[in-house]
Amino acid sequence: MPKPKKGARFGGSASHQKAIFANLATALFEHGRITTTESKAKAVRPYAEKLITKAKGGTLADRREVMKVIRNKDIVHALFAEIGPSFEGREGGYTRITKALPRKGDNAPMAVIELVREKTVTNEADRARRVAASQKAEAAPAAEAEETVVEETVADAPAADEATEDKKDA
């Protein structure tokens, strides 16, 4: 016999919790980011990521499974036409949760859950390339500065020696 998960339900009943998650996922796909409580954001994350994984598949069966959850056909179309294909090279990790300031009325911990739009592999490669270039750029002027300081010191030293010799002769 199936047993419910331990812990409190959002909204009180199973059907209300299901509706809350469906509405949060719909809003997330519609707007790209939503602000909600930390616990709701953490709970809706796997729910939304499974829907995105189905959208990546793109089959009719996947579309019907998503339509059971998200009732808005425009959002489902956007999910399958835009959001799913944008995550084609990524295996999970489609959403990001960032903590926000507590809610003003009851001081509830808030968070922003958003779809991750940038591609990680290219961004990491670009970041590594920029860091390497900046380190080379910082090292090159420093080396040139050291060389010029050494040359000036060497050039000043004989002149100073001649000046001291002139004073001794006089």
Same domain for 135 and 52: no
Q: Position 142: which residue type?
A: A
Q: What is the CATH number of the domain that holds 34?
A: 3.90.1030.10
> Which pLDDT tens digit goes with each residue over 7-42?
778 888 889 999 999 999 999 999 999 999 999 999
Residues 127 and 165 in one domain: yes
Same domain for 75 and 136? no
Spell out the SS3 assignment of 102-123: CCCCCCCCEEEEEECCCCHHHH
User: Are residues 95 and 20 located together in one domain of the fold?
Assistant: yes
Give the model's confidence band at 54: pLDDT under 50 very low, under 70 low, under 90 confident, else very high: very high
CA angle 156, 158, 161 (to 5 degrees): 110
Question: What mean pLDDT comes out for the span 88-101?
Answer: 92
How far apart are the C-alpha atoms of 65 and 106, rounded to whole Å?
37
Q: State whether 31 and 111 are in the same domain.
A: yes
Q: How far is Cα 28 from Cα 95, in angstroms, rounded to an integer?
A: 10
Range of the domain at 123: 119-170
Assess whether 63 and 126 both reside in one domain. no
**How confident is the model at residue 80, as a pLDDT?**
93
pLDDT at 67: 94
- In this prediction, residue 129 carries a pLDDT of 83
Question: What's the pLDDT at 26?
Answer: 96
Same-domain pairing of 95 and 56: yes
Lowest mean pLDDT among 3-7, 21-25, 60-64, 80-84: 3-7
Total number of domains constituting the chain:
2
Instruction: Report d(CA 1, CA 62) in Å as an integer.
Output: 27
62 in any annotated domain: yes
pLDDT of residue 89: 84
Cβ contacts of residue 110 below 8 Å, gap of 6+?
35, 36, 37, 38, 99, 100, 101, 102, 103
Decide which of 145 and 63 is more confident.
Answer: 63
pLDDT given for residue 148 in this prediction: 59
* Residues 113 and 130 reside in one and the same domain: no
Please tell me whether residues 89 and 36 are part of one structural domain: yes
| pLDDT for position 124 | 72
pLDDT in tens, 103-155: 999 999 999 999 998 765 566 777 788 888 888 888 776 656 666 555 655 55
Residues 150 and 130 in one domain: yes
Cα–Cα distance for residue pair 5/80, rounded to 1 Å: 30
Question: What does pTM read for this prediction?
Answer: 0.66
In a domain, 69, yes or no: yes
* Alpha helix positions (H), the chain: 14-31, 38-57, 60-69, 73-78, 84-86, 120-169
What's the token pair of residue 87?
Answer: 């995550």
Are 18 and 100 members of one domain? Answer: yes
